[in-house]
Amino acid sequence: MATLNDLQNAVDSLLAHPAGPGSYQLVQPIEEKAYEAYVFGLCLRAVRELGVQPLLRGISAIPTPFVFRGAPGQIHSQYRNYGYASFTLNRHEFEIHAGVEFVGTSEMTHEIDVCIMRAEAAQACRQLPNDPAASSVFGAWECKFYDQSLDKHLARAFVGLTDDLGTNIRLSGFCSNRTHTQMRDYFQPQRRPYPHLLLTPLDPASETRFVGVLSAELKKMTAA
C-alpha cells in the first residue's frame, strides 16, 4: 500500500516546484504573494506619477534582495531584512509595506496585504518595538489572486477590517484577478473599499485606474 510519503514524492516529481521538493503546499501562498508584490509595484508607480522618487529600503540593511514576507508579520521584525518603500510628498513622509500587522480600533490585530502608512508611526514602531495603530494607515489594499470564483465572504471580511481601521484611512481597495458582480455592487456605497476587480497586467486600463485613484488621493491628502 502506498504511504503518505510515496504520495508526497510522486506529487513532488510531478510538480518540480522551483522551491524544491516538498514545497508544493507553498504554491498557492506564493501566487498570492506575487500578486501582492504586483500591487506593491503599482503603488510605486502611483507615487512616481506624482513626480516623486520612492526608495526601496530594508529593515536592517540595503534590500538586496528585496524580501517579501511569506506570511503576515510585525513591522519591527528583524527575522529577515524585509523590504519596504518610503517617499516624501509635500513634506509628508510615507512608507509602503506588504503583509504587516496593525492594531485595529477594537485592539484586534489585522494583517494588511499592501498598505501606505505614515512614516513617523512606522519608525516609532520599529524602535519601540510595537505594532502600528490603525490610525497611521493612509491606504489599505486586500489582494486576492484566485484560480476560481471569489467568495462573497472575502468582501464582507475586508469591509469589516477597514471598518476597524477607524476614520483616518483615506483609501482602501479590494484587488483581484477575478471579478464578481454582487461584490462590485456590495462595494458601491460610500466609504466601502474600491473594487479593483480584474486587476492584472493583461488589463492596462485597470492598472491605470488603480494608479489614478491612488495618486489623486495622495495629492489631495498632502495638499492640505
What residue ranges bind other proteins (CB under 8 A)?
A: 18-20, 22-23, 26, 30, 33-35, 37-38, 40-42, 44-45, 48, 53-73, 77, 79-80, 85-86, 88, 91, 93, 119-120, 123-124, 126-128, 145, 200-202
In angstroms, give the least distance from the CB of 26 to other proteins.
Answer: 7
* Total residues belonging to the chain: 224
Q: For residue 223, report the phi and psi dihedrals to the nearest 5 degrees.
A: -75, -30
Q: How far is the CB of 78 from other proteins (least distance, A)?
A: 10
Q: Which C-beta is closer to other proteins: that of 76 or that of 162?
A: 76
Quick one: 121 or 159, whose CB is closer to other proteins?
Answer: 121
The helix (run of H) or strand (run of E) holding residue 221 is helix 204-223
CB of 85 to other proteins, least distance (A): 7
In the complex with other proteins, which residue's Cβ is closer, 66 or 186? 66
Which of 51, 189 has the CB closer to other proteins? 51
How far is 191 from 171, CA to CA, in rounded Å? Answer: 9
Strands 194-197 and 171-176: what pairing?
Answer: parallel
Residue type, 173: G
CB of 100 to other proteins, least distance (A): 12
* Alpha helices (runs of H) in 93-203, residue ranges in sequence order: 119-127, 152-164, 181-186
The residue assigned the cell 501582492 is: 36
